[in-house]
Amino acid sequence: MFFIFFIVFSDEREARRDFSISKANSYMEGFRIVNKKNGTDSWIITARRADFSRDETLAKLDSVTMDIKKEGAVLNADHGTYNMNTRDLGLEDNITIQIKDSVIHAKNLSWNPSHGILSAEGKVQMKGNKFTVEGEGLTATEDNKVTLMRNVKAIFY
């Protein structure tokens, strides 16, 4: 009987310790990263909140916006992950990308700034003033080349 009580008490103490450690991770409200190139803003990532990993290399983001100045594109997502070392950004949930007169919708998106590649694995839809294009899988490069990979359908009106 005493042995069972000790195990239960020990498990509760362990759970409390793990909870307090997870609460000790740092976070930041009003998270913002600005990348400058030749003295001007190249891109800006903002998030309502960023929760950092224990080693502070990863930030889990809520309500993410990325403004890419050169392309005039604005990305929005409900959630994302930013790697402080590699600067890779992963976005998920309700992703929209506004570029000039068109809007792209995707379920997930990853951006690798060192290679200049934006990619999505799932369904992607792009709507403009006189067209709709949808497909699965997307790759976009710095030279503004956008490729839809599979099951591509386009409607022009």
pLDDT at 10: 40
Does 144 fall in a domain?
A: yes
pLDDT band, residue 133 (cuts 50/70/90): very high
Q: What pLDDT, in 10s, does the model give residues 137-153?
A: 988 887 778 888 899 99
Does 17 fall in a domain?
A: no
Does 9 fall in a domain?
A: no
d(CA 7, CA 95): 46
Give the number of domains in the chain.
Answer: 1
Does 19 fall in a domain?
A: no
Q: Which residues pair with 131 in a beta bridge?
A: 156
Which of 113, 120, 127 minimizes the C-alpha distance to 149? Answer: 120
Task: Examine the pLDDT at 46 and tell me if it is beyond 90.
Answer: yes
Q: Residue 60's domain spans which residues?
A: 27-156
Q: What pLDDT, in 10s, does the model give residues 57-75?
A: 899 999 999 998 877 889 9
Does 6 fall in a domain?
A: no
Q: What pLDDT, in 10s, does the model give residues 72-125?
A: 889 999 999 999 898 889 999 889 989 888 899 998 999 887 787 888 888 999
Asked if 150 contacts 123 with a C-beta cutoff of 8 angstroms, the reply is no
CATH of the domain at 135: 2.60.450.10
Does 141 fall in a domain?
A: yes
pLDDT at 7: 38
Does 22 fall in a domain?
A: no
Task: Examine the pLDDT at 129 and tell me if it is beyond 60.
Answer: yes
Q: Tell me which of 5-19, 28-42, 90-104 is least confident.
A: 5-19
Q: pTM for the whole thing?
A: 0.74
Three-class SS string for the chain? CHHHHHHHHHHHHHHHHHHHHHHHCCEEEEEEEEEEECCEEEEEEEEEEEEECCCCCEEEEEEEEEEECCCCEEEEEEEEEEECCCCCEEEEEEEEEEECCEEEEEEEEEEECCCCEEEEEEEEEEECCCEEEEEEEEEEECCCCEEEEEEEEEEEC
pLDDT at 45: 93
Does 146 fall in a domain?
A: yes
d(CA 150, CA 137): 6
pLDDT band, residue 24 (cuts 50/70/90): very low
Task: Examine the pLDDT at 19 and tell me if it is beyond 90.
Answer: no
